[in-house]
């Protein structure tokens, strides 16, 4: 068969690897049986948890990278030129485009880290003998609906977009506004290629570094290119001191300013401090409890940062119990969204600031 282009026009493409799909299926089965954080029992759920965490015993593998999408065209394959690349955009006029370059000596391109459930227009290009850029005709495909949107950053791990899920408000959280992941320097030095992908393809405008400011954190992007905030946060049962209530509120306010978006937020591994902060932010946005729990636990499934992050662990239970104690006698009747609202109110965030965050992050 003489294939003119790959993928074929209008195709629906998955960005999940085979391992990720298998693990997600196992996760869904175990999570449904275990229930929410209140029903989870560390002994009774152990067998279920081990079923979808057993792949973590495979040392040296990182399952947090998305499947790459092959882009190639017959007319490009037959052309003579140099510097082959592909452009992708949600807009047919290629505004706010992503650019992926072919490896040296190749005319094929691999795209990755695209929004889920999104139509993309794409074209290939190259530089001809006269130094002029030539483009192929435009085609399109759609990415499969899935959660989460995993992101491949060279040298990094556990990077994903918080968006894509339907909320209790009947609207989805927008993709492409807030990314969570591991550190980009110091303990995890990310090379220039990875940092460039964040700024050039994901259009990052803000680095919200929630590591401590005693030398653990530090600016990595050029000052003129990306705003930098270093607001030290703690995790689990340690987030309820007056200082931490204030700091969580400061970090929250960074996300209410559109000039700071898209934002990349991280601690060291993107698991505990980042996990608690994103959990609370997504609760304010209306993410359902089952999805909040999954997003927190997804770190243990795919990340190289080993260790069980699960709803029944003592440290996660201290986080949930602390939210209830902060809420007082009415806590048992409160939803997870109400508990998160109460937490930020105690830190000084006003309800209109929460509404502003929803107006920015929820699809119209």
Residue pair 184/190 in contact (Cβ under 8 Å)? The answer is: yes
Place of tokens 């949600």: 90
Place of tokens 């795209």: 111
Is 238 exposed, middle or buried (CB count within 10 Å of its CB: 0-12, 13-18, 19+)? middle
| pLDDT on residue 35 | 54
Residue pair 173/149 in contact (Cβ under 8 Å)? The answer is: no
Summarised one tens digit per residue, pLDDT across range 91-133 is: 999 999 999 999 999 999 999 999 999 999 999 999 999 999 9
| pLDDT on residue 61 | 66
Summarised one tens digit per residue, pLDDT across range 200-215 is: 999 999 999 999 988 8
Question: Pairing between strand 263-266 and 206-209?
Answer: parallel
Place of tokens 């996300």: 255
Place of tokens 């869904």: 28
Residues 6+ apart with CB under 8 A from 84: 76, 101, 102, 106, 107, 108, 109, 124, 125, 126
Q: How far is CA 54 from CA 47, 158, 355, in A?
A: 10, 18, 41
What pTM value is reported for the model?
Answer: 0.93
- Whether pLDDT at 3 is above 60: no
- Whether pLDDT at 300 is above 80: no
Taking the C-alpha atoms of residue 245 and residue 239, their distance in angstroms, rounded to an integer, is 7
The mean per-residue pLDDT over the stretch 9-13 comes to: 96
| Three-state DSSP string of the chain | CCCCEECCCCCEECCCCHHHHHHHHHHHHHHHHHCCCCCCCCCCCHHHHHHHHHHHHCCCCCCCCCCCEEEEEHHHHCCCCEEEEEEEECCCCCCCCEEEECCCCCCCEEECCCCCCCEEEEEEEEECCCCCEEECCCEEEEECCCCCEECCCCCCCCCEECCCCEECCCCEECCCCEEEECCCCCCCCCCHHHHHHHHHHCCCCEEEECCCCCCCCCCCCCCCCCEEEECCCCCHHHCCCHHHHHHHHHHHHHCCCHHHCCEEEECCCCCCHHHHHHHHHHHHCCECHHHHHHHHHHHHHHCCCCCCCCCCCHHHHHHHHHHHHHHHHHHHHCCHHHHHHHHHHHCCCCHHHHHHHHHHHECC
Q: What is the pLDDT confidence band of residue 30, given thresholds at 50, 70 and 90?
A: low
- Whether pLDDT at 352 is above 90: yes
- Whether pLDDT at 176 is above 50: yes
Summarised one tens digit per residue, pLDDT across range 66-93 is: 999 999 999 999 998 999 999 999 999 9
Residue pair 254/208 in contact (Cβ under 8 Å)? The answer is: yes
- Domains of the chain with CATH codes: 5-13+67-143 (2.60.40.10), 51-62+147-361 (3.90.190.10)
């Amino acid at each position: 068969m003489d294939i003119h282009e790959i993928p074929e026009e209008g195709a629906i493409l998955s960005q999940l690897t085979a391992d990720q799909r298998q693990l997600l299926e196992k996760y869904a089965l175990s999570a449904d049986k275990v229930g929410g954080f209140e029903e989870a029992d560390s002994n009774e759920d152990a067998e279920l948890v081990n079923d979808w965490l057993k792949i973590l015993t495979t040392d040296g593998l990182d399952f947090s990278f998305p499947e790459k999408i092959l882009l190639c065209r017959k007319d490009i394959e037959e052309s003579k030129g140099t510097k082959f690349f592909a452009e992708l955009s949600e807009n047919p006029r290629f505004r706010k485009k992503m650019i992926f370059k072919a490896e040296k000596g190749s005319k094929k391109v691999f795209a990755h880290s695209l929004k889920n459930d999104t139509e993309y227009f794409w074209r290939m290009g190259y530089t001809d003998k006269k130094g002029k850029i030539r483009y192929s005709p435009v085609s399109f495909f759609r990415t499969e609906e899935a959660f989460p949107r995993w992101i491949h950053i060279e040298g990094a791990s556990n990077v994903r977009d918080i968006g894509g899920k339907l909320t209790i408000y009947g609207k989805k959280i927008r993709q492409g506004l807030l990314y969570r992941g591991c550190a980009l320097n110091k303990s995890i030095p990310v090379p220039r290629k990875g940092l460039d992908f964040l700024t050039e393809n994901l259009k990052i405008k803000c680095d919200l570094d929630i590591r401590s400011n005693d030398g653990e954190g530090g600016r990595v992007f050029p000052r003129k290119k990306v705003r930098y905030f270093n607001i030290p946060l703690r995790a689990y049962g340690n987030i309820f001191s007056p200082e931490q209530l204030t700091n969580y509120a400061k970090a929250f306010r960074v996300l209410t300013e559109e000039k700071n978006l898209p934002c990349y937020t991280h601690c060291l591994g993107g698991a505990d401090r980042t996990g608690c902060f994103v959990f609370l932010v997504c609760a304010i946005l209306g993410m359902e409890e089952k999805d909040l729990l999954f997003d927190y636990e997804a770190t243990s499934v795919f990340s190289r940062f080993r260790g069980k992050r699960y709803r029944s662990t003592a440290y996660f239970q201290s986080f949930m119990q602390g939210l209830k104690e902060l809420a007082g006698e009415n806590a048992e009747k409160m939803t997870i969204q109400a508990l998160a609202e109460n937490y930020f109110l105690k830190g000084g965030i006003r309800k209109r600031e929460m509404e502003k965050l929803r107006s920015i992050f929820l699809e119209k």
